Amino acid sequence: MNTSEQLFQRALSMIPGGVNSPVRAFRSVGGTPFFTKSANGARLTTADDQELVDFVLTWGPAIHGHNDPDIRAAVREALDRGTSFGTPNPLEVEMAELILSCVPAVKKVRMTNSGTEATMSAIRLARGYTGRNKIIKFSGCYHGHVDSLLVKAGSGALTQGNPDSAGVTPGTAADTLVAEYNNLPALSALFDANAGQIAGLIVEPFPANVGLILPDAGFLAGLRELCTKHGTVLIFDEVMTGFRLSLAGTQGLHDVVPDLVCMGKIIGGGLPVGAFGGKVEIMDKLAPLGPVYQAGTLSGNPLAMAAGLAAVRKLKAQNPYARLDVLGRRVRDTLLAAAQAKGIPLQVPQVGSMFSLYFNTEKVRNYDQAIASNGDLYRKVFRNALDKGVYLAPSPYETAFISTAHEGKDIDKSCEVLDAAVRAL
Ligand SMILES: *Cc1c(COP(=O)(O)O)cnc(C)c1O
């Protein structure tokens, strides 16, 4: 057994499944996970000293790559002043100013400790603000492990949702309606069938937790129209896409302004963070101003704020998005060319530094099409690439990320390895 296998064996007896978050267990690709002992730039070093070019990037946050020197310096400086105060601290004000300066829809913001807390709080706020109970989510969109969002579609298009996890009560799921992404007519019918009852609609504007799905032209604008018409709070869950697609997240690419935005991942610079913000009249319903309770012992934690400020300031200074898009296109084109040469049906949706692989003859526009893709082919590519030092997400239904630390040589090597992995199918 190598060191990772030994560590995993020890972990299995004490930690359920050996991991503190399920996808890390490699169940979707088989085998056992490697352990990482350090990470720098675009590369991870495993417990067995294998160097891997990393396209998972701690599931999104590490847009500057790992162990970024500016983030490290900011955390070190904050550390000298103490790890948590339980009072307001100056960095929270700087963080709020920075977020407001980047994301037009956000006029007020509150920090949380995770993306899950952000979506959970945004849903509660939408309900408290509207005085309504029901929410709409889309199948295939992931919003963290909030009870009311761990819901899958019911049998008919207009039925209530069903729990998607043991422990979520049918009562909780009943207030969540599940719609199909990229299907405005069905959504419109769902709104009509529940007129005056929908508090909020939550959506990943670019669903990135079932592979990557791109919104059809007009889809996001259609969401805005329907929500406005029905008095429903439109919530963009940009935990993944915020500061990843542009400084303004999706709003930098599409001229659609949501009522609330959830953030996380990148704004923590690798430390645990989330945030939600939006219109003043909605945000002012939060305690202590309003009746919607929301809190956190460590919310706005000075180390997390310092890391996040450094990460976002660096993005603002460098504006790397066009450069990242060039790298994303290059990887996409490499994969597509290899698949074409082999006559294998492969879709590679890509936006900026995000891409995924669907072994599918059709363009994937929704959840059903995504899960109809061939997972076995993905597993083979994943294994082959990992053996040669390139780490893609250990599941066919996760998105790959590129960082500003992926240099020419990392991308050259990765394209070579991915090309060979697809041609070996
Ligand atoms: C990661 C993610 C979450 C959950 O964030 P955590 O910090 O893992 O709780 C929510 N929404 C989206 C879109 C995400 O990608």
> Which atom of ligand 1 is nearest the CA belonging to 141?
13
- The token duo for 420 is 């060979």
Per-residue pLDDT of the chain (425 residues; tens, 9 = 90+): 999 999 999 999 999 999 999 999 999 999 999 999 999 999 999 999 999 999 999 999 999 999 999 999 999 999 999 999 999 999 999 999 999 999 999 999 999 999 999 999 999 999 999 999 999 999 999 999 999 999 987 665 455 788 989 999 999 999 999 999 999 999 999 999 999 999 999 999 999 999 999 999 999 999 999 999 999 999 999 999 999 999 999 999 999 999 999 999 999 999 999 999 999 999 999 999 999 999 999 999 999 999 999 999 999 999 999 999 999 999 999 999 999 999 999 999 999 999 999 999 999 999 999 999 999 999 999 999 999 999 999 999 999 999 999 999 999 999 999 999 999 99
Residue nearest to atom 6 of ligand 1 (CA): 115
Spacing, Cα 387 to ligand 1 middle (Å): 29
- 398: helix, coil or strand? coil
Spacing, Cα 367 to ligand 1 middle (Å): 18
Taking the C-alpha atoms of residue 218 and residue 254, their distance in angstroms, rounded to an integer, is 9
Taking the C-alpha atoms of residue 179 and residue 156, their distance in angstroms, rounded to an integer, is 11
- 8: helix, coil or strand? helix
- The token duo for 35 is 């352990």
Spacing, Cα 239 to ligand 1 middle (Å): 5
> Which atom of ligand 1 is nearest the CA belonging to 115?
5
Taking the C-alpha atoms of residue 127 and residue 239, their distance in angstroms, rounded to an integer, is 20
Spacing, Cα 423 to ligand 1 middle (Å): 34
Spacing, Cα 119 to ligand 1 middle (Å): 8
Q: pTM surpassing 0.95?
A: yes
Q: Is the CB of 237 within 6 Å of ligand 1?
A: yes
Spacing, Cα 145 to ligand 1 middle (Å): 8
- 120: helix, coil or strand? helix
Taking the C-alpha atoms of residue 99 and residue 406, their distance in angstroms, rounded to an integer, is 25
Spacing, Cα 196 to ligand 1 middle (Å): 29
> Which atom of ligand 1 is nearest the CA belonging to 116?
9
Strand partners, 111: 275
| Residue 70 amino acid letter | D
> Is 167:203 a contact under the CB 8 Å cutoff?
no
CB atoms inside a 10 Å sphere around CB 154: 16
CB atoms inside a 10 Å sphere around CB 343: 6
SS (H, E, C) 145-211: CCHHHCEECCCCCCCECEECCCCCCHHHHHCEEEECCCCHHHHHHHHHHCCCCEEEEEECCCCCCCC
Q: Is the CB of 140 within 6 Å of ligand 1?
A: no
Task: Please choose, from the candidates 243, 294, 248, the residue with its C-alpha nearest in 3D space to the C-alpha of residue 264.
Answer: 243
Strand partners, 44: 39, 52
Q: Which of 116, 181, 263 most suits a substitution to test ligand 1, by most atoms within 8 Å of the C-beta?
A: 116
Q: Is the CB of 236 within 6 Å of ligand 1?
A: no
Between vectors from CA 287 to CA 285 and to CA 289, what angle results, nearest 5°? Answer: 65
Q: Is the CB of 209 within 6 Å of ligand 1?
A: yes
CATH fold for the domain made of 69-317: Aspartate Aminotransferase; domain 2 (3.40.640)
Q: Is the CB of 240 within 6 Å of ligand 1?
A: yes
Rounded to whole angstroms, what are the CA distances from 63 to 266, 290, 329, 338, 422? 7, 36, 17, 27, 26
Taking the C-alpha atoms of residue 378 and residue 384, their distance in angstroms, rounded to an integer, is 10
Taking the C-alpha atoms of residue 293 and residue 289, their distance in angstroms, rounded to an integer, is 10
Spacing, Cα 240 to ligand 1 middle (Å): 7
Q: Is the CB of 68 within 6 Å of ligand 1?
A: no
> Which atom of ligand 1 is nearest the CA belonging to 59?
1
Architecture field, domain 3-63+320-423: Alpha-Beta Complex (3.90)
Taking the C-alpha atoms of residue 36 and residue 347, their distance in angstroms, rounded to an integer, is 30
Q: Is the CB of 285 within 6 Å of ligand 1?
A: no
How many helices (H) and strands (E) in the chain?
13, 16
Q: Is the CB of 142 within 6 Å of ligand 1?
A: yes
Q: CA torsion, points 161, 162, 167, 171, in degrees to nearest 10?
A: 60
DSSP 33: P
The residues annotated as belonging to the active site are 142, 237, 265
Residue nearest to atom 11 of ligand 1 (CA): 143
Residue 302, by phi and psi: left (phi above 0), alpha (psi -120 to 50) or beta?
alpha
Q: Is the CB of 119 within 6 Å of ligand 1?
A: yes
Taking the C-alpha atoms of residue 425 and residue 421, their distance in angstroms, rounded to an integer, is 7
Q: Which of 209, 273, 299 most suits a substitution to test ligand 1, by most atoms within 8 Å of the C-beta?
A: 209
Domain ranges across the chain: 3-63+320-423, 69-317
Q: Which of 119, 213, 273 most suits a substitution to test ligand 1, by most atoms within 8 Å of the C-beta?
A: 119
Helix axis angle, 90-102 to 302-318, nearest 10°:
30
Taking the C-alpha atoms of residue 93 and residue 305, their distance in angstroms, rounded to an integer, is 10
Strand locations in 79-219, DSSP E? 108-112, 134-138, 151-152, 162-163, 176-179, 198-203
